[in-house]
Structure 1
């Protein structure tokens, strides 16, 4: 019997976004800048929420957790990519590759679930404003955040274990800047049918389940907003959801385009470009999307700057 968990590959070579030498320095500077902006922006959001007592509400508890997830999400891929740009080997160990896959999937799933509970928060705040404080208590918020992390780790463990059972016979070059599922499956010399099946079943349930929950929440929100008599009141109420909807559209649009399609149609070039959107660009933009459209955050930032 063949041991399908055996692999002759001790490490992988991450080819990165581009192999052209003249593009390496501009890419390094661009991604270093985006990473610094991402960490600084999301850390500032967390600091503002922790330091401002009036932001200690469920909405901002979820937002601070989303900011932390964004930092961790990008930190699983970008530092290694920056290191590999100036490395001749561009290598990552087999165990390191699986670890990177695990944490990448985990923090992507955390963001997925947090966007769903943030939609629930907006639904309760708009559709049940009088009962909102009694329904969404601090204890329930903590339980929801913990559940998001537990489900995310289980989801990541499943796909990482399935990746670990694949055999890699000789070609260890990954056409990507990190150890992503499809690029790894592309170079496996054993059947990836089970991996693909789980992505298109369990993965669809996790991602589309959260997206369906968000869609249902906003269906109720829109229904409630339409019953508000004044146009100004409608705009003021629905504007509180604009930041969340923007993040949802970018995150799920790019995620669905990359993963929920046949493996045979996966293009390394297009996959890298779109993956950059939700692994680097979206986490970088999230602090600006939420702060520029949020009066409470802007006011907390002004008070914070005056204290410096």
Structure 2
């Protein structure tokens, strides 16, 4: 039987990645809470940076861009997983599935490139502190950000261009949402060739960005050796935030994408867990790391809480004053 005769007209996909889950509601609630916190924290970071003109600087523009990427990345698949686990909606239309696939992989690659650009920012800030504002202006950062988005869209366009022409023999997705591997496995062709092509592109993106970050760190460490102890502490504090974000993003990505190509065998559940963790982990950790470790954003948060506390205490004191006045009047 030919592929054309065996193929079916797919209008909807059935998401079957959670079929073997023993406690779907509990997992759904965890994903819902993580997604809500990630979106809320990233929106808060964006609002803090936009509303304060003092934060309109290259580093904060990059933090803002990272927050936008995180919102897009986690929103590409989290609502689908929450819908399957909590609402029982386990179908997705063909077009929506392709859009989800593109946005998810765009978020994956953008996360790597944004962290690489942020490493460059830290490298220039530490090695060339006096020339920093002449090397990295807001305009140059915006242009660089636009180039990064454009390059990543160019990579992502390969995915629908590959999948759309292929005939489909199944409408059931093995995984928890529409990524390239899940959609490709529903086609009637041998997926190994396409997996190898995507693995090469993915390896190039991860390897290039990770090596670039490592080289930036090496340059900073060599410079730190020649600095005083006070300068070392300041440099260390500026790097810790970025280093945490790098570890959270690259560790599951390397295990799931790179190591499995070199013989590391993962069970279906382990692969699913790494995939979900690779999405929710960075998007949840990044905003809290930069919110708690960046001095200007932390000070802005403290001012907001102090202002609210001050207003609350004033209202309590006003109520007490009114009560005392009423008691004196009655006497």
- TM-score normalised by L of structure 1: 0.90
Separation of aligned partners in 2, 1:115 and 1:259: 18
Q: Does 1:236 align with 2:237?
A: no
| Structure 1 residue 235, shift from structure 2 partner | 2.0
Structure 1: gaps (5+ residues):
none
Q: Does the Cα contact within 8 Å between 1:101 and 1:181 map onto a contact in 2?
A: yes
TM alignment of 1:80-159, pairs within 5 A: 80-88=80-88, 90-159=90-159
Structure 2: gaps (5+ residues):
309-331
- Which residue is equivalent to 2:212? 213
- Which residue is equivalent to 2:189? 190
Deviating more after overlay: 263-272 vs 250-259: 263-272
Separation of aligned partners in 2, 1:51 and 1:44: 10
| Structure 1 residue 174, shift from structure 2 partner | 1.9
- Which residue is equivalent to 2:312? none
Separation of aligned partners in 2, 1:192 and 1:167: 12
Residues 198-218 of structure 1: per-residue CA shift (max 9 Å, x gap): 222222212211111111111
Q: Does 1:57 align with 2:57?
A: yes
| Structure 1 residue 19, shift from structure 2 partner | 3.6
Separation of aligned partners in 2, 1:262 and 1:98: 25
Separation of aligned partners in 2, 1:43 and 1:62: 14
| Structure 1 residue 65, shift from structure 2 partner | 0.8
Separation of aligned partners in 2, 1:220 and 1:137: 22
- TM-score normalised by L of structure 2: 0.85
RMSD: 2.3
- Which residue is equivalent to 1:178? 177
- Which residue is equivalent to 1:10? 11
| Structure 1 residue 47, shift from structure 2 partner | 0.9
Q: Does the Cα contact within 8 Å between 2:3 and 2:188 map onto a contact in 1?
A: no
Partner of 1:257, secondary structure, is helix
- Which residue is equivalent to 1:256? 254
Q: Does the Cα contact within 8 Å between 1:196 and 1:263 map onto a contact in 2?
A: no
Partner of 2:23, secondary structure, is helix
Q: How many residues align?
A: 304
Q: Does the Cα contact within 8 Å between 1:182 and 1:266 map onto a contact in 2?
A: no
Q: Does the Cα contact within 8 Å between 1:13 and 1:89 map onto a contact in 2?
A: no
Partner of 1:191, secondary structure, is coil
